[in-house]
Structure 1
């Protein structure tokens, strides 16, 4: 069994309070590791180490090309250990191995992308009426508290750590208490490639202890959080003490819109992929499927037919297409939402139950689930379920599709399926969401910005925007004619 430690100022240690949390495999409820639970004081120690490292300039003053070399080495080491990391990710999250392998590969690419990006030209110059030459430069924010979710542990960790380090910041990273294994392995790689002590620190523990301290501390200059909208609100409040910079990637209840003129098979395929990939535990899942009235019945029939064939099982079974939910509490939350949908009068046409047959009785598996005959006021339509639960809505025309699509507090993602390119683009432009696709769904690229509108968060990660997120902008004005202004001369 793995013993997962804290990494503070270049040293590994157990928590001083000797508190541990069992880390389980959600496919069979077996304990696979135990993780230290840091105290507030140890979190403060990690922040202090990051503060000292940043103020010393050991990382922020390093030439960009040298920082880039570290990121490339990290990527190489991740790639060398991809098989082990994929297996650990699969065991800790319950997702199929093929999904875990994709996540690790994308994390590798993320470090390489930012390693390359920081050596490219950046900044601006400007000219004004006075004899002044102006420069705009980007500088690191400082100490960044990074708080990652449990659904894509290493990948979302990379999405934060790579740009934060690339920009010259120092970090204190908090993985999810549920799925910390692969990010701890990542920190072993950071140590192996020689990241200077104090630049990258890792503190495992609860949100109310570690997360709150990162958000409240006056010595933390920025906090980046990915998780629920509810917790995001608490992060905003806690961060107000020193008006620190915040980046929030929060919940979603994203619409996937299918018009009658869409390529039918492609739309069905992406509708399934959009909600049942990673068992629906994806912030940008296409959890609301909006279908034009004339094809609604045929489309739902095809969805059910294909959903019946989805092979649910353990991640280490090569035939598995959908894995377990992350834990018992979350499974019960998903099942409770399904019961709420039934009680609200929605029509459950497929799934809806926990799976205990076929040797899955010890794990946390829920059937692919489809509701139809839903209305906009239902909780299952308005609230994020974060599980394999698809709610279908029917629309008559383009205007109604747009209205329904925008009718939730969220605005993370959206998809439109139509072979009329003008119509598809018209609709996408009117949807209040940050991550959108036409004739595809659930796409993500290191090169493209990630984030949402409304209660889906603040700021953007990934792409050049991700580097900007972890930077401050400074103007520098250079007087080209050095002489007194005589402003106060009589």
Structure 2
């Protein structure tokens, strides 16, 4: 099933139908590797369309929640099969819209398929516990009930995986969904929703409305019939959403920024640490919330690590993500491109030493895209902007420390606490890192970027609202516990 088009204009999906916005306006989705390549147009919708979607979702939720978990899971298995049959098409669309390389896009789409199948199986797993009562003639147990209508607001960097890892658990636990995808990758998200439509989910169970965050995101956040909002994006927007939803008594889940450190101990396997640092920092052009941003290296091996890192960084092939052999693509849009360049300039102004990169790429294959060189600074101190703020681009800072204790102090000296990793062969250092690192995800001898779908994911400090996504932990957000007492 393909979305209906009007001159390559992709439509909203509301109450089981593909509809155009009453605004009559569309926005272009542009390939960041080639600004002359327009992927298509998406609706610049109004509050009216968003409200229609919420009405549809609310009406559909009553019958959807009455289905057995097995029956809801059967639908998700169908969606997974359809998405798998379209993996090449959707991955190519993602690469054109977002800029990541085609192998990365295929990997992300495959992950979306796996997430759907994982949560489809969740329909047959337990939802409560029997609890002993003080009354010997009574039965007491817990069960879980859906929240109702869930608003899903997703970013542009993972346009398949993030919508699915929010929608799939919401649906399996009996909620209905209104999705507001990021405008920059909305066509990819719409193609995912096509798979839900083709699987035959009842009308109104899944809805998607595209448009600006200030209009559609705000309307979704403020609608009193939206029982919960799950959001991934920037800290500023996330906090505003949380305040708005809290004020009207709704439930919210926020996954926001990171300033993720890698600690390289003196006893580390340097080749492994270098490979993982480059992968964590520069894959997807550094546009991951778990991307490596700060590399904290013990003094004894600092120069050796730096030399190996610079050598490997020079080998990175940069270009359009559809080109075979390309390792790193462009920034996802003009705004992010300008943001990265501004942080590079800020690093220079504040006295950091530029070791590699730092420039816009120009020439054949680059002039029409948002390409920035992988950038490495050293002599970065904790009071510098590039140490404290999330860049969300291919930029890392090297920091020299004298001990693991100092390294942990430096690593924790930011407002964020999403992910972190350490490279060491010493068990005591591993344990110290696990115990002392203020992050929701800690990894040993592995890059900071990377989350397994069956495990809880979320951050500490300013990185999240302290709830967790994925795995069994998802039920904590998408359901409420009901305690039952039978006499």
Q: Same fold (TM over 0.5)?
A: yes
Match for residue 4 of structure 2?
none
5+ residue gaps in structure 1?
Answer: 480-490
Paired residue for 2:454?
447
Q: Determine the C-alpha separation between the residues in 2 that align with 1:186 and 1:360.
A: 30
Say which of 256, 269, 282 aligns to 1:250: 256
5 Å-filtered alignment, 1:184-333, equals 184-333=190-339
Alignment correspondent of 2:38: 31
Q: Following TM superposition, where does structure 1 have runs of at least 4 consecutive aligned residues deviating by more than 6 angstroms?
A: none
Structure-1 residue corresponding to 2:464: 457
Contact 1:416 1:428 in 2 (8 A): no
In structure 1, the residue matched to 2:121 is 116
User: Which deviates further from its counterpart, 115-124 or 452-461?
Assistant: 115-124
Aligned to 1:127: 132
**Deviates most, 114-123 or 340-349:** 114-123
Match of 1:101 in 2: 106
Alignment deviations for residues 268-314 of structure 1 (CA, whole Å, 9 cap, x no partner)? 10010110010000001111111111111111111111101100000
Partners of 1:268 and 1:302 within 8 A in 2: yes
Partner of 2:3: none
Where does residue 20 of structure 1 map in the other structure?
Answer: 26
Q: 2:164 aligns with which of 133, 158, 174?
A: 158
Structure 1 stretch displaced more, 227-236 or 126-135: 126-135
- The 5-angstrom pairing of residues 41-190 of structure 1 reads 41-54=48-61, 57-131=62-136, 132-190=138-196
Q: 1:77 deviation in Å?
A: 0.5
Is the 8 Å Cα contact of residues 166 and 467 (structure 1) preserved in structure 2? no
2:130 alignment partner, SS class: strand
Could you tell me whether the CA contact under 8 Å between 2:12 and 2:208 is conserved in 1? yes
Query: For 1:58-81, what per-residue CA distance to the aligned partner results, in whole angstroms no more than 9, with x for missing partners?
Result: 211101111111000000001010
Residue by residue over 1:204-259, the C-alpha shift from the partner in whole angstroms, topping out at 9 and shown as x without a partner, is 01111111111111100000000011110110121123221101110000111110
1:475 to 449, 466, 483: 483
Q: CA deviation at 1:414?
A: 0.4
Q: Hey, what's the Cα distance between the residues in 2 that align with 1:129 and 1:457?
A: 39
SS at match of 2:434: helix
Given that 1:326 and 1:364 are in contact with CA atoms closer than 8 Å, whether structure 2 keeps it comes out as yes
- Distance (whole Å) between structure 2 residues aligned to residue 252 and residue 7 of structure 1: 33
Q: Secondary structure at 1:12's aligned position in 2?
A: strand
C-alpha root-mean-square deviation of aligned residues, in Å? Answer: 1.0
The alignment covers a number of residue pairs equal to: 477
Q: Tell me, in whole angstroms, the C-alpha distance in 2 between the residues paired with 1:137 and 1:281.
A: 39
Q: Any idea what SS the aligned residue of 1:457 has?
A: coil
Match for residue 369 of structure 1? 375
The answer on whether the counterparts of 2:128 and 2:144 sit within 8 Å (CA) in structure 1 is: yes
Moved more, 284-293 or 239-248: 239-248
Distance of aligned partners of 1:155 and 1:2 in 2 relative to their CA distance in 1, 3 Å threshold: farther
Structure 2's unaligned 5+ residue stretches are 1-6
Q: Distance in 2 between matches of 1:374 and 1:134?
A: 58
Please say if residues 413 and 434 of structure 1, whose CA atoms lie closer than 8 Å, have aligned partners that are also in contact: yes
Alignment check: 8 A CA contact 1:123 1:137 kept: yes
1:392 matches 2:403: no
Bigger Cα displacement from structure 2, 203-212 vs 126-135: 126-135
Q: Does the 8 A contact of 2:290 with 2:450 survive in 1?
A: no
2:9 and 2:26 in contact (8 A); partners too: no
1: CA distance, partners of 2:247 / 2:346: 39
Q: Counterpart of 1:287 in 2: which secondary structure?
A: strand
Judge conservation of contact 1:167–1:470 (CA < 8 Å) in 2.
yes
Post-superposition shift, 1:436? 1.4
Q: Structure 1: how far apart are the matches of 2:212 and 2:9?
A: 17
